[in-house]
């Protein structure tokens, strides 16, 4: 399974985004897609229509992973291990969800997530 970061979900509802082709290719290859509840919450902040939100939810096959106590503790460790960077806690929570579930995170925000790789994150860097 591949968890999409928020930016790729936004790309799915952005007309002309070149990243739609990347996601389509994964689906054609039989990859299951999902996301963390944290990334889903960020995506739901919009702006987008209900139809666009429902379309992304369909692409994810409703695979939005709840955030648990175990993930909260892992996110806290990641936050501390990576220097307690202001504004980074959401990324820590998205990474923690993927680490706990042993899935990859695909993102265009490579710099925001590569610091979690030494702590177990499997990262798919999608070029911008």
Domain boundaries, the chain: 2-125
Query: What pLDDT, on the 0 to 100 scale, is given for residue 128?
Result: 83
Please give the pLDDT value at position 115.
97
- Tell me the pTM: 0.95
In whole angstroms, give the CA distance from residue 99 to residue 94.
Answer: 9
CA dihedral (77, 83, 84, 87) positive or negative = negative
pLDDT digit string (tens) for 28-44? 999 999 999 999 999 99
State residue 93 phi and psi, 5-degree precision.
Answer: -70, -40
Closest C-alpha among 7, 11, 70 to residue 39: 7
Model pLDDT for residues 71-89, shown as the tens digit of each residue: 999 999 999 999 998 989 9
**CA atoms within a 13 Å half-sphere pointing along the CA-CB vector of 92:** 19
Q: Give the pLDDT confidence of 51-61 residue by residue, as tens digits.
A: 999 999 999 99
Give me the chain's average pLDDT, please.
Answer: 97
CB count, 10 Å around CB of 114?
13
Q: What distance in Å separates the CA atoms of residue 75 and residue 59, rounded to the nearest whole number?
A: 26
Q: What is the CATH number of domain 2-125?
A: 3.40.50.1010
């Amino acid at each position: 399974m591949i968890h999409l970061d928020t930016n790729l979900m936004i790309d799915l509802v952005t007309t002309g985004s070149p990243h739609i082709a990347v996601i389509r290719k994964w689906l054609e290859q039989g990859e299951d897609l999902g996301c963390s509840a944290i990334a889903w919450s960020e995506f739901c902040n919009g702006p987008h229509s209900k139809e666009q939100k429902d379309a992304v939810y369909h692409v994810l096959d409703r695979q939005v992973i709840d955030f648990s106590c175990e993930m909260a503790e892992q996110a806290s460790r990641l936050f501390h291990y990576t220097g307690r960077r202001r504004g980074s806690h959401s990324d820590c929570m998205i990474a923690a969800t993927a680490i706990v579930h042993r899935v990859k995170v695909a993102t265009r925000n490579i710099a925001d997530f590569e610091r979690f790789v030494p702590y177990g994150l499997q990262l798919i860097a999608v070029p911008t």
